[in-house]
Structure 1
Amino acid sequence: MVKIIVKVVLEVGFGQVCQNEDVKKYFKRGKKLCEKQFNILSQILTNAGLASPASWVSEVTKSTVSPFSDKLMLNHIVILISAAIGYYGAAISVSQRRDLTLEYARLMAEVGLYAEDGAELLIKHGWLEEPPLAEDREKLASK
C-alpha cells in the first residue's frame, strides 16, 4: 500500500507542474484510481483489525514550476504502473485467501487499462521509443 501512497503523491505533484493538458488529465485520473484502490485495500485491513498507512499528500509543496519534462514524468508514472501490475500478480501468486486474489485481479485489471492509456499517450506525443527487438533469424539465414 505504501507504493500506492507514493504514486498518489507523485501524481499530485506531477499534475501540479505538468504543462501538457492530456498528461495532466492522465495524472489526475491516476490519482483518483490510486485513491480508490488505497481505500479498498485500507478497508480490507480495517475489517481485519489492522491499521492502514497514512497518506503523504500533504507533503507535496505548492510549487507549479516543473523540475522535469512532461515526457520524463509520464514515463516515470508508466513504469510505476507496470511495476504495480507485477506486484499485484505476485500478490495473487502467494495469497491463500480467495477474497484477496479476486480483489487483486480486479485491481490489476484496472491498472492494466490505465497503463495501456499511458502507453497510448506516450505514442501520441512521440515519446515512446521502439524497444529492442529480436533479430529476424529467417531473414538473416536467407541472405
Structure 2
Amino acid sequence: MGGHSIRLTSSEIGGLWAAYLQENMAVCLLTYFLHHNQDEQIKGILQKAYEISKGHVAQITSIFKDEGIPIPDGFSEKDLNLTAPPLFYDMFGLSFVYSMSRMGMVNTSFITVNTARKDVMDFFVTMLQQTTMLYQQATTLMLEKGVYDRPPLIPYPDQVEYVEKPSYISGFWKKRPLNVAEITEVFFNTERNYFSILLCMGLLQVVKDKEIHDYIAEGKKISEKQINTFNDILMREELLGNVCVSLDVTDSTVSPFSNRLIVTLFHSLNSIDVTLIGHALSLSMRTDLAVYYEKYILEILLYSAKGFEMMVERGWMLKPPHAPDRRKLQN
C-alpha cells in the first residue's frame, strides 16, 4: 500500500487507529474461544472471524508502516491464560461473534463515511462487508440452534396512517402503543445487556483485583437496571419481554484474561453502548422512552469515566494521535 503521495487525514488516522485496537483485541479474544470451543459449527465461524480480524490488523500495520506512524501497543497471547479451564460454554463463543459483529457494523460504517483516500476507503468497505457476512452467518447458526430470541411480532398494517394529535409523543399518562422502531430499539438494547450480564457473571468469578471486581459488578448492575426497565415496558405493552435462553458461564474461578484486556474490553463496550442508546433516543417518539435513554446514557458515561481513570492510573490508556499544540510551538 506504499507509494501514496496523498497524506492520511485526521479522520483516516483516527479510524485506522480505532480499528487496529478493536481488531487486535478481537484476535486475542477469538484465540481464547477457539482454544476451548468443541462445537464444530461454532468453531468454523470463530475461525473465520479470527482470520478476518488478523488480516485487518496486518493491513492496518502495513498502512501505518508505509506512513511512518507508530503501531499501537496491542494485546498478544501474553494477555491470555490458555491453561485456565473454560470460563464459558461453547454457545457463548457464537454469542460473542454475533454481538461483536453487530456492534462492529455500526463502528465500521461510521468510520467508512469519514474516509476518502482510496486504499483506506477500500479497506473499510471490505471490512464492513466481512463484518456483515459474519453477522449473517452467526445469526443463521443461532436460528438453527434455537438460541436466537426474535423480536416481537405485530399484525401487518392494512393502511397508511398519519399522526393526528401532538399527544402521539406522550409517554407518561395516556400512552399510545409502541411503534416498530421503538420496539426494535427496546428489544435489542435488552438483548445487548443480556450479553453484558453473562460476560460480567463470568469475569466476576475470576477477577481477584478488588477495584476491577467492583467495576465489573457496577457494570452488571447497570445492565440489570436496563433489562428491568425495558422488559417492563415490553410486558406492559403485552409484547412479552426478552428471555435469556441459556446460561453460558461455567464454574471456573481461574482468569483466562489479563486485567488490562478485561478493562479495555469494558471501555470499548461502554463506547459503543453510548452510541447505540443515542441512536435509540433519536428514533423514539414517546417521551418516557426518551427520558429512560437519556438517563442511561448519562449513567454509562459516568461509569465509563471510572474505567478511563483506572486505565490512566495503571498506565493502560493509549493516547490517540492528536493535533500539535500550536501555541506551545509558537512560544
When normalised by structure 2's length, the TM-score is: 0.41
Compute the displacement of 1:62 (Å). 0.7
Measure the CA separation in 1 of the matches of 2:262 and 2:221: 17
Q: Find the counterpart in structure 2 of residue 59 from structure 1.
A: 248
Equivalent residue for 1:83, pick from 272, 278, 282: 272
Q: Find the counterpart in structure 2 of residue 5 from structure 1.
A: 194
Matches within 5 A, 1:82-121: 82-121=271-310
Contact 1:71 1:127 survives alignment (8 Å): yes
Identity, % of aligned pairs?
A: 35
Alpha carbons of 1:91 and 1:10: their partners in 2 closer, same or farther (altered >3 Å)?
same
Equivalent residue for 2:317, pick from 109, 119, 128: 128
Q: Find the counterpart in structure 2 of residue 48 from structure 1.
A: 237
> Which deviates the most, 53-62 or 64-73?
53-62
Compute the displacement of 1:57 (Å). 7.3
For the pair shown, the structure with the greater C-alpha radius of gyration is 2
Measure the CA separation in 1 of the matches of 2:240 and 2:267: 29
Measure the CA separation in 2 of the matches of 1:90 and 1:29: 24
Q: Find the counterpart in structure 1 of residue 227 from structure 2.
A: 38
Contact 1:19 1:70 survives alignment (8 Å): no
AA aligned opposite 1:55: C
Alignment RMSD (CA, Å): 1.8
Measure the CA separation in 2 of the matches of 1:31 and 1:110: 13
When normalised by structure 1's length, the TM-score is: 0.90
Q: Find the counterpart in structure 2 of residue 17 from structure 1.
A: 206
Measure the CA separation in 2 of the matches of 1:56 and 1:4: 13
Compute the displacement of 1:21 (Å). 1.2
Compute the displacement of 1:119 (Å). 0.7
Contact 1:8 1:57 survives alignment (8 Å): no
Alpha carbons of 1:123 and 1:117: their partners in 2 closer, same or farther (altered >3 Å)?
same
Alpha carbons of 1:57 and 1:29: their partners in 2 closer, same or farther (altered >3 Å)?
farther
AA aligned opposite 1:92: L
Question: Secondary structure at the residue paired with 1:53?
Answer: coil
Alpha carbons of 1:90 and 1:60: their partners in 2 closer, same or farther (altered >3 Å)?
same
Identify unmatched segments of 5+ residues in structure 2. Answer: 1-189
Compute the displacement of 1:55 (Å). 2.9
Identify unmatched segments of 5+ residues in structure 1. Answer: none
AA aligned opposite 1:106: K
Larger % of helix: which? 1
Measure the CA separation in 2 of the matches of 1:57 and 1:80: 22
Contact 1:9 1:57 survives alignment (8 Å): no
AA aligned opposite 1:44: I
CA deviation string 1:15-68 (max 9, x = no partner): 211131100110011111111111011101111111221236732111111111
AA aligned opposite 2:221: K
Measure the CA separation in 1 of the matches of 2:314 and 2:325: 29
CA deviation string 1:100-138 (max 9, x = no partner): 111110111111111111111111221111121123456
Compute the displacement of 1:82 (Å). 1.1
Measure the CA separation in 1 of the matches of 2:246 and 2:216: 14
